[in-house]
Structure 1
Amino acid sequence: MKAVRCHGFGHRHRLETGIAVPKPKPGEVLVRVDASGICAADRAMWDGTGPWSLPFPFTPGHEFTGTVVELGEGAGERHDLSVGDRAVAELNITYGNDFFRQRGLYHLADRMDVIGATLDGGWAEYMIYPADAVIHKVPENLSNAAACFTEPLANAIHGVERADIGFEDVVVVSGAGPIGMGMLQAARLKTPRKLILVNPGAAKRRLAERLGADMAFHPDDPELKTALADLTDGRGADVFLEASGQTQAFTLGLELLRKAGRLVVFGVYKKPVAVDLNIFGEFKELDIRGGHLAPFTYRTALDLMSRGLVDGDACVTHRYPLDRFEEALERRPEPDEVQIKIILDPQM
């Protein structure tokens, strides 16, 4: 089979052929990969800016969907799967009596494998879902592209849940990448009083309004602050969801939030930020909440897309075959072009 193998960070990925199709062990599931996404973390591995220490080589790809082609001993009963089912697996595999795992925080476990990092991922024609993976069937009415969007959407839903959005809240979503667009659609389902998207790209702002934003602004547009002041009698936003990974967006959130507002940080940042700490306590008593991965939200993501409440297909904008993975990793949008999620299709 073909697979993209990462031999180190910084343009050390290689397309390799003639790799043996893996054989599933007891409890494991072999799938034919139908689609696998490219994430900001994958690009950080490619350009050498990632903060992680990983064993090499491995096959990247932690956003994926596949069709079951073989079940290891006991896997069908363990995961309620049959050959021919489409399924996604959660990327983090946890083990044993981990402190966080015992408390329902399995996404924060100290002992963890990650598909697409410490275990081979979806940038291949075939892959193994481990015996200890949490696996979910893909609803029949979902496209492979939408199914591949499950992982980023599940992350987005976790971030929205962390925000505790109420009916009267004015909510700002910063960033219109996969997580931001997922947050926007999930936050819309919480029915806040107003939902505002902040992003530099005009085309993405227009798409955001189609997907549920009441308003959309460039971060430097003075009308953003005017609109918030009008909506809140000058107090500021109740909730700010930061999904852009830009440090200036974080500081913008601190400025736009009202006193006792809630800021959820879900981006991956490449540089530190200097902040006057007085804004957290002395000036605003802000509630800052981190967000990481997608505990208990994959099933929700699949259900919301299946019911037509979240448009996963609208967020998958480009598709490439495996042998053009470098082009896909390097792709940047043209002016006024919508680029959200790029996927690799090993069947192309």
Structure 2
Amino acid sequence: MNEQASRLKVLNRKVPPTMKALVSYGKDDYRFEPEYPTPECGPDDIIIKTEACGVCAGDLKCQHGAAMFWGDETQPQWVKPPFIPGHEFLGTIVEVGENVTGFILGDRVTADQIVPCQECRFCKSGQYWMCQPHNIFGFQQENNGGMAEYVRYPKTSLVHKVPNEMDLESALLIEPYACSKHAVDRALIGCEDIVVISGAGPLGLGMITYARMKNPKKLVVLDLIDNRLEKAKEFGADIVLNPRETDVIQAILDMTDGYGCDIYIEATGHPSSVTQGLSMIRKLGRFVEFSVFGAPTTVDWSIIGDRKELDILGAHLSPYCYPFVIDNISNGNLKTNGVVTRCFPIEQWEEAFEYASGKYGDLKVAITF
């Protein structure tokens, strides 16, 4: 592009040169920037005007310096500051590059959290969610996230249209529910299985409403907060238990003739939930680990091998899940009512992060624009 054409493109832009954004310059160094540069639209890019962005537990752990993001003596730093956080976002297309097809100005869209490179062995085999470079919206400066007025979707983004009639509170759950679906799919739930889901936060609730569609023999949900257990019951749990009030390991053993549950899905990110699950799962059971942890977990690995011969399965991101989730939120099969409990403008991001911690009883908190 010659200099005159470049100047003309800038003059014809429909988005302002600067925007409001939350920017991470380092762990515990997050700043609201009222005039941060707006992303440029390349020939293969899409620019959206952000509608809203959910605050994820991963965002909180990153802000507080968790080693999986910032590195430690055993793992390298993964984040690339300065970056704009946020991966649970959606918006309306305001610019499209000349090479973009299938999308037009005004489309309401969201995208998979990961931006696959399409060149590594994982991408070439269709396992794009494990892309080796692993660039994800909201953690690297090349792929800034949704806690800003405008976001760029680069060429290899996996973009999905969102129905205009879907209410914002439901649309904000597309990304977390897609992750929930992948975790439940990993569990291979059958109709004779007794399933325990540990954690009834937003992602746990997504697992519950989707697991209900699998029609297990019994769906048991554990959480320390009673109002979350009430919501779990509303979303399809058969039995809800509070580990503060009940010996949940013994309760599961009692309802299974001493064998233990068939499937345990860990969705709390707390070490005690891992050891609890290993104690209540039966021999030859399936344990699905979903959470992001803020600290290491120590377990007796002989339980996994010599004692029970368990299948231990990880669950990462949301491969091939967005179309199903969008359709089933739209038709009401996946329940969303009451999960988004509070929204804040970007200027009040500190309050949003504080409420997203759950200390005031909130489930999903979002930043709106």
Range of TM-score over shorter length: over 0.9
CA contact (8 A) 1:143 1:313 kept: no
- 1 CA distance for matches of 2:244 and 2:358? 20
- Structure 1 residue aligned with 2:8: none
Per-residue CA shift, 1:168-222, capped at 9, x if unaligned?
A: 1010000112211111111111100110110000111011101111111112443
Match of 1:321 among 328, 338, 345: 345
Match of 2:259 among 219, 235, 241: 235
Match of 1:48 among 65, 68, 71: 65
- Structure 1 residue aligned with 2:27: 9
Match of 1:247 among 244, 248, 271: 271
> What displacement does 1:340 show?
1.4
CA contact (8 A) 2:175 2:322 kept: yes
Match of 1:61 among 68, 76, 86: 86
The range that moved more, 217-226 or 60-69, is 217-226
- 2 CA distance for matches of 1:193 and 1:132? 41
Match of 1:21 among 38, 42, 60: 38
- Structure 2 residue aligned with 1:344: 367
> What displacement does 1:333 show?
4.1
> What displacement does 1:21 show?
2.9
Per-residue CA shift, 1:249-270, capped at 9, x if unaligned?
A: 0111001111111000001112
> What displacement does 1:233 show?
2.0
The size of the alignment, in residue pairs, is 340
Match of 1:218 among 239, 242, 266: 242
- Structure 1 residue aligned with 2:104: 82
SS at match of 2:305: coil
Q: TM-score, normalised by structure 1?
A: 0.93
- 2 CA distance for matches of 1:20 and 1:281? 53
User: Would you say 1:295 and 2:295 are equivalent positions?
Assistant: no
Equivalence map 1:242-281=2 (5 Å) = 242-281=266-305
- 2 CA distance for matches of 1:253 and 1:42? 26
- 2 CA distance for matches of 1:249 and 1:89? 31
Instruction: Tell me: CA distance 1:50–1:307, structure 2 relative to 1, closer, same or farther (3 Å).
Output: farther
> What displacement does 1:51 show?
2.0
Per-residue CA shift, 1:116-155, capped at 9, x if unaligned?
A: 1111110011111111100000023311222121111111
The two structures, once aligned, show a CA RMSD in angstroms of: 1.6
- 1 CA distance for matches of 2:323 and 2:49? 21
The range that moved more, 215-224 or 307-316, is 215-224
CA contact (8 A) 2:41 2:95 kept: yes
- Structure 2 residue aligned with 1:73: 98
Per-residue CA shift, 1:27-47, capped at 9, x if unaligned?
A: 211111001011111111222
CA contact (8 A) 2:117 2:133 kept: yes
CA contact (8 A) 2:111 2:159 kept: yes
The range that moved more, 65-74 or 159-168, is 65-74
Per-residue CA shift, 1:298-342, capped at 9, x if unaligned?
A: 11211110110112342211111000001111225466x3x1111
The range that moved more, 293-302 or 140-149, is 140-149
Q: TM-score, normalised by structure 2?
A: 0.88
- Structure 1 residue aligned with 2:180: 156
- 2 CA distance for matches of 1:109 and 1:344? 28
The range that moved more, 159-168 or 303-312, is 303-312
- 2 CA distance for matches of 1:98 and 1:192? 37
SS at match of 1:113: coil
- Structure 1 residue aligned with 2:5: none
Q: Percent identity?
A: 37
Amino acid at match of 1:340: L
CA contact (8 A) 1:42 1:60 kept: yes
- 2 CA distance for matches of 1:36 and 1:220? 33
Per-residue CA shift, 1:6-65, capped at 9, x if unaligned?
A: 11111x111112234323111211111001011111111222224222221111111101
- 2 CA distance for matches of 1:228 and 1:51? 33
SS at match of 2:61: helix
- Structure 1 residue aligned with 2:3: none
- Structure 2 residue aligned with 1:200: 224
Question: Which segments of 5 or more consecutive residues in structure 2 lack a partner in the other structure?
Answer: 1-18, 70-76
The range that moved more, 134-143 or 42-51, is 42-51
> What displacement does 1:70 show?
1.5
- 1 CA distance for matches of 2:99 and 2:296? 47
- 1 CA distance for matches of 2:45 and 2:119? 21
Question: Which segments of 5 or more consecutive residues in structure 1 lack a partner in the other structure?
Answer: none
SS at match of 2:316: coil
Match of 1:107 among 129, 132, 142: 129
Looking at CA atoms only, which structure, 1 or 2, has the larger radius of gyration? 2
